[in-house]
Chains A and B, each alone.
Chain A
Amino acid sequence: MTSDLLRVRDLKVSFATDGGTAQVLDHVNLTIGRGQIVGLVGESGCGKTTLARSILGVLPKNSARLEAGTIEFDGVDLLRVDPNRLAATVRGRRISFIPQDPFSSFNPVFTIGAQIMDLMKWKSPELDDADAGRSGWLPRLHGSRRYKADRERVLDLLRQVQLPDPEGVLKKYPHEVSGGQRQRLMIAMALLPEPKLIIADEPTTALDVTIQAQILKLLRDLATDHGISVLFTTHDLGTAWEICDSITVMYAGQEMEAASSEGFFKRPSHPYTNRLLKSLPSRGGSLSGIPGSIPALVDPPTGCRFNPRCEFATDICRQTRPEVTSAGPGHDVRCYHPVAEEKRHALA
């Protein structure tokens, strides 16, 4: 089974809080194929950021606990790798990250060029794995061969992300460039180490719709050109439709349905997915929210966590969580009572 780049299986993560232990991820599965763009969608508090952080290995040490599961990346279980080695060879090199907020992700007192070149000291693709953990501590001459090569690489990528005047941008401070340009810089920085997987955490939420369209196009084109897989978390189903090859939807720390983008919007099987699609504003149609509210994760409902808000819930839903069942080719759903064909709220 080497065809998938990333396979998360039965991942269980809990957080210690003042109110008790919050079960933030409850046996979650996620698969990302090579070169695929996978959307991770869900409402706030559903655990999509926690899942992304678990893959990166940056969960808060004091409060988070990995209780069970495996994260298999390129055939290696990341949870069994030595953390220092993970930091040197995987995080920021094989797996890189695009943050949600391009405004607070740069240090305001250094030029953009200084920050990007500093990144290259640690994460340059020219470093071999043995060097990677320590090279950053060494001073480096601006005339050195590697410095020049890295700088060329940076300028080349800035051209690829269509930034006007790449040389000039490197001399600027973060506040001197616009939000859209900062997000382009973030994409360039995520691509610099030549990763196999990029985790993009709501990269367009802070942007205007016309800029969003430009950034999504750029991200998809570059991912395709470089053959990179992308895990794209978002709460906006419209952007997920734009860019994703397949979509996994989460609710309250459980994944509910995973399907190809077409299948997800054409044949939504899970009751939650159907309710979610029904809440989207549509022209002339009626708008229905989901009655009730998201459960507290300290004391979540047993079984399927959507059961208190689900119109089809029966006793078995309250007792045990449904296993993954197939609702078609490449279409997995975790529900005892998937919505029948004629009652589905198809959008595509």
Chain B
Amino acid sequence: MNVDAPAPTRRTQVNERTILDARGLTKHFPIRNAFGWQTGVLRALDDVSFTVDKGEILGIVGESGCGKSTLGKTIMGIHQPTDGSLIFEGNDIAGAAPSAARERRRHLQYSYQDPGASLDPRWKIRRSLHEPLVIHHSGLNYDEREERVRAILQAVGLPVGHLDLYPHEISGGQQRRVGLARILTLQPSLVVLDEPTSGLDVSVQATILNLLMDLRKQFDLTYLFISHDLSVVRMICNRIAVMYLGKVVEFGETEAVFETPCHPYTRSLLSAIPTIGGARVIDTFSLEGEPPNPGNLPSGCRFRNRCPMAQQTCAEVEPELRADWPGQEAACHFAQ
């Protein structure tokens, strides 16, 4: 199922195919005590920069709490970024007023992690699918909307009869399909997929992944693929960004990162994936400890407390992403 998009560009290089350009994107949440006084800052995203090319699939991977969902939601405008700019199809959507940004963001859509919870349990599927058209294309009458909805429903592989069912009457895999149909009615160009296969059985996951690839071809879509499942990411993404505690620690072409991971965190993360038929991870895995509290980060490199290569410099200087490898960048002082 390897992807047939054009060769990806470097991380922050803008060209005529660039569809999204994130520059120094930062999101800090205040930590407040019981009286409402701010006692600290939770750095959910810190100076994240990258570009997304039209037609590519960019994977955002990392463990829970690393900021990957915050990144998706900040791009979507669900969170206002603390700092940084976000250029989507030539317009800055980070600083714009909410109403203007919503207009500019019509072609940017977000697929929620849990489609069961994002569909109204008291609405039939038909009404849920009509809703985005009612909001964004108020000129259409009922019949025109129904026509579009039926076409989309067919594209995601659901029978028309499902329009008259309620969300609880269909399976988890079918709910995902409805969630995708809901997004596609607006003809987006970039879709943020937040954990599109979590909670699905492997056989259903396979059909959903195949569907995502078909839809991408059919509707000319670009995906920002947020996932913690590295084997899925390896299979479908062109490039990936590995995040750790709000920072991108490694970025590059998927194969390069998986074959020769440079950052020690990426290496540990990849070595933790079970390979059926290969050496057992539990015999070889060495990373100890757990990620620190994101409200109280270590100085310098955020990974240094768990890093086998950490030295004095790591506590003093925060490493920047270095583009020292072909098709790959890593934020580590000692990566070779």
Contacts and interface: CB of A to CB of B under 8 A. Distances in A.
Pairing of A with B:
yes
Interface of A: 43-44, 178, 180-181, 208-214, 216-217, 220, 235-239, 241-243, 265-266, 275-276, 279-290, 293, 347-348
A209 B275 CA distance: 13
A89 to B, nearest CB: 33
Interface in B175-225: 201-207, 209-210
Contacts of B63: 208-211
17 contacts: A208-B64, A210-B272, A211-B63, A212-B272, A213-B282, A213-B287, A217-B285, A238-B273, A241-B276, A242-B274, A242-B282, A276-B203, A283-B234, A284-B235, A288-B206, A289-B206, A293-B173
Contacts of B277: 241, 265-266, 347-348
B204 A348 contact: no
Contacts of A265: 276-277
B276 A210 contact: no
Nearest to B199: A44
Interface of B: 1-2, 63-64, 171, 173, 201-207, 209-210, 228-232, 234-235, 268-269, 272-277, 280-282, 285, 287-288, 290
A214 B203 contact: no
Contact of B2 (A44, A284, A288): A284
Contacts of B232: 281
Contacts, number: 111
Given A238-B274, A280-B276, A287-B235, 20 more contacts: A178-B290, A208-B228, A210-B63, A210-B272, A210-B287, A216-B282, A241-B275, A241-B277, A243-B282, A265-B277, A279-B205, A279-B206, A280-B202, A281-B235, A284-B1, A286-B1, A287-B210, A289-B204, A289-B206, A293-B171
Contacts of B229: 281
Contacts of A348: 276-277
A265 B280 CA distance: 14
A238 B276 contact: yes
Contacts of A241: 274-277, 280
Contacts of A238: 231, 273-276
Contact of A242 (B281, B287, B290): B281
Contacts of A288: 206, 210
Contacts of A209: 63, 228, 230, 269, 272-273
A242 B171 CA distance: 30
Task: Pick from A44, A213, A220, A276 the residue with the most CB of B within 10 Å.
Answer: A213
A281 B202 CA distance: 8
The 4 closest A-B pairs by CB, nearest first: A238-B274, A348-B277, A289-B207, A289-B206
Contact of B203 (A43, A178, A243): A43
Contacts of B235: 281-284, 287
A245 B229 CA distance: 25
A25 to B, nearest CB: 19
A32 B261 CA distance: 40
Nearest to B236: A281
B202 A279 contact: yes
Nearest to A288: B206
A192 B210 CA distance: 46
A244 to B, nearest CB: 11
Contacts of B207: 289
Contacts of B203: 43, 275-276, 279, 289-290
Nearest to A280: B202
A305 B32 CA distance: 55
Nearest to B211: A289
Nearest to A180: B290
A276 B201 CA distance: 10
B129 to A, nearest CB: 21
Contacts of A280: 202, 231, 276
Given A181-B290, A241-B276, A282-B235, A287 B201 contact: no
B155 to A, nearest CB: 17
